[in-house]
């Protein structure tokens, strides 16, 4: 069996478990743990799972996370209290969640991009739940308006990902 016909499921399982493990370690471990976790998981992803050029997607999501969550922080959406902040906006552990999430886009979540409205619904529900759970575990206070705004952001973001999935290389042209 050649590499092209080998089953992809072991990589998909590793991809999903890697993200979930990384999310938990970042939220519970703080910035130094997030840095080590991110380097290992993202490095492993790029080496063993990623498609050529996928690093651009991860870098783009790192920038998008700094822009979106940094803006929401400036608007008072997050209170990180005693967490040191990267660029005065976000703790490193919080920001690292964005490129970790991006590791799922062209792999474990590929099936979702073929269904734009389901992608929007999944983003609108799972995005805020992730922020809520992370906030509780890490002791980050969330403004009352933040979760509805996150639902809108993640619903639109996932819808746009689904609508542009082929152009972004998230699904193969079959």
The pLDDT tens digits of the residues spanning 91-121 come to 999 999 999 999 999 999 999 999 999 999 9
pTM: 0.91
> What are the residues whose beta carbons fall under 8 Å from the beta carbon of 110, sequence distance 6 or more?
170, 171
pLDDT tier at 10, thresholds 50, 70, 90: confident
Residue 48 CA to residue 38 CA, distance in Å, equals 15
CA 60 distance to own-chain centroid: 11
pLDDT tier at 173, thresholds 50, 70, 90: low
pLDDT tier at 174, thresholds 50, 70, 90: very low
- Judged against a pLDDT cut of 50, whether residue 5 lies above it is answered with no
How far are the Cα atoms of 112, 138, 139 from residue 163, in angstroms, in the given order?
11, 34, 35
Burial label for 106, CB within 10 Å (0-12, 13-18, 19+), is buried
């Amino acid at each position: 069996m050649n590499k092209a016909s080998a089953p992809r499921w072991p990589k998909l399982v590793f991809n999903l478990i890697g993200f979930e493990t990384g999310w938990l370690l970042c939220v519970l471990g703080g910035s130094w743990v997030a840095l080590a976790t991110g380097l290992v998981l993202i490095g492993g992803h790029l080496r063993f799972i990623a498609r050529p050029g996928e690093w651009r997607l991860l870098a783009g999501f790192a920038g998008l996370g700094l822009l979106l969550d940094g803006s929401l922080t400036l608007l008072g959406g997050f209170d990180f209290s005693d967490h040191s902040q990267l660029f005065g906006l976000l703790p490193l552990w919080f920001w690292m969640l964005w490129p970790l999430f991006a590791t799922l886009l062209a792999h474990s979540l590929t099936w979702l991009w073929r269904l734009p409205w389901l992608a929007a619904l999944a983003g609108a529900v799972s995005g805020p739940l992730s922020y809520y759970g992370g906030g509780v575990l890490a002791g980050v206070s969330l403004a009352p308006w933040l979760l509805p705004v996150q639902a809108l952001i993640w619903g639109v973001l996932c819808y746009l990902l689904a609508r542009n999935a082929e152009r972004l290389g998230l699904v193969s042209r079959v």
